[in-house]
Amino acid sequence: MSRTSKPIARPDRTHLREGRVTRTTDWSEAETRAIVARHVHREGPLLPILHAVQEAFGYVPREALPAIAEELNLSRAEVYGVATR
């Protein structure tokens, strides 16, 4: 028997997680950059940005990582390393 993995979060569905309802939507580069702009002033903003992106979209899209890296003036490898730990 072969098993196929199912996605953890599906777009346009509401999920209850740790007592909070999170709405997942399709990824948007503009929304990702807006999230970065809201957090860029903080000391060590990368982790709060990744958390906010996850809350906004239900997951951290791989496509979001280069935009985050560019906005924070970090390498893609740095952002990917933090996002995948």
Cα 1 to Cα 5, 6, 7, 8, 56, distances in angstroms: 13, 16, 19, 21, 36
Task: Please report the pLDDT score of residue 26 as a whole number.
Answer: 86
pTM: 0.71
Task: Please report the pLDDT score of residue 18 as a whole number.
Answer: 55
Q: Per residue in 20-47, pLDDT tens? A: 545 557 889 999 999 999 999 999 999 9
| Greater model confidence, 77 or 18 | 77
- Name the residue among 41, 66, 68 with its Cα closest to residue 53: 68
Q: Per residue in 1-17, pLDDT tens? A: 445 544 444 444 455 45
Task: Kindly give the interhelix angle for 46-57 and 76-83, rounded to the nearest 10 degrees.
Answer: 60
